[in-house]
Amino acid sequence: MLVTGAARRLGREIVFDLARHGFDVALHYRASADDAAETVAKARAFRAQAWAFCADLSDEAACRALVPAVVAQFGRLDAIVNNASTFEYDNVASFSYAAMELHWRANTAPAIVLAQALHSHLEARAVGQPDCSGCVVNLLDQKLWNLNPDYLSYTLSKAALEAATTLLAQALAPRLRVCGIAPGVTLLSGAMTDAEFGQAHAATPLARSSQPADVARAVRFLIESPAITGTTLLVDGGQHLRAQPRDVMFLARQQLKG
């Protein structure tokens, strides 16, 4: 299994869940070398094979080199979890080509390139193993089912990735399944304070949004479910059921002040 953006935060939790359940894991990171080494060591404590791979996925050549490097180390690759993501604020007033390109190159294009590479690897393996198949899981955002104009470029890049999940599932079947997971408020991010995070995390029908373990469990479920492709699981405590005119950070900030 290859998990992108795996050195810290949600990616690390996904790695640990997979390692605990018997999967060998390739950890991708861009700049967090020390964190990646620590994550590798902990994953190996679960008796999994684990290796770290550094790449800037916004660079097409580096992105295309990642799957061959993983295959060279492990001998095979069966699944990719596209977790690496850029999350920077803009809105309609501040939108620019540069902001859109930044998010597209980090959040959308790499997932397509990596799916393409995994499919090619599986096709090559199928010469001697006709029934080999694999899975890609793309990390999306519940925001796509409850749109608001904050974080405009980020949202557009994830909307493109959600569409790509469907298109790739169509194009790469039957060899490769492609699925999505849309978490809710899971970890402190951006300019959100601890108090704002707590407020936002509780503002769902279930009075709790997703936790890292919830998302990691859902990732493993999709990897282990051979009849699921081209669909997205919303793992968000029902957050998508409540209309939100602004990003949760701003709503929580307003409620705390009120």
Q: For the chain, list the domains and their CATH numbers.
A: 2-189+209-243 (3.40.50.720)
* Band of residue 42 on the pLDDT scale cut at 50, 70, 90: very high
Q: Please state whether 238 falls in left (phi above 0), alpha (psi between -120 and 50) or beta.
A: left
Rounded to two decimals, the pTM is 0.93
CA 252/CA 198 separation, integer angstroms? 9
- Average pLDDT score over residue span 197-201: 83
Q: What is the pLDDT of residues 88-106, one digit of tens each?
A: 999 999 999 999 999 999 9
- Average pLDDT score over residue span 158-177: 98
Q: What is the pLDDT of residues 49-59, one digit of tens each?
A: 999 999 999 99
Q: What is the pLDDT of residues 118-144, one digit of tens each?
A: 999 999 999 878 788 999 999 999 999
The dihedrals phi and psi of 170, each to the nearest 5 degrees, come to -70, -45
Q: Assess contact for 11 and 4: CB atoms under 8 A.
A: yes
* 8 half-sphere exposure, CB direction, 13 A CA radius: 10
| Bond into 174 cis (ω within 30) | yes
